[in-house]
Structure 1
């Protein structure tokens, strides 16, 4: 299902939940999404990887907190670092 959503051009992947967390924040902390989904994200140029939630946390800060080195590298790549 997630793979299909990523392939759709008309899906807003920056839509936030009640805590202002975007799907990318959850993808960076989910062990079940460790492979596959994260590797497909750089293909979507419409994702804003540094949006912060209502706690001021970004997907990158969640990835660092959860020790997700793969996600940290990917997010740095997406933000141009």
Structure 2
């Protein structure tokens, strides 16, 4: 391989590895893809919020239930309320 061929080969490899800014999608298709990605992100955020609120409610329910058990125990053992 001559130095000229080697330089040409290196230039071809560099051109293939260089990121391209042009896309095969039309502007409408690119907008649709962006909206689909955004919709999926919102769906994930919604699921995360539902899980957090459900777990918070479960913890509060456990605290209230435990408090009611303690109150019932105290009533059964002579506490006058």
TM-score normalised by the shorter chain: which range applies? under 0.3
Task: Judging by fraction of residues, say which structure has more helix.
Answer: 2
> Which structure has the bigger radius of gyration?
2
TM-score (norm 1): 0.17
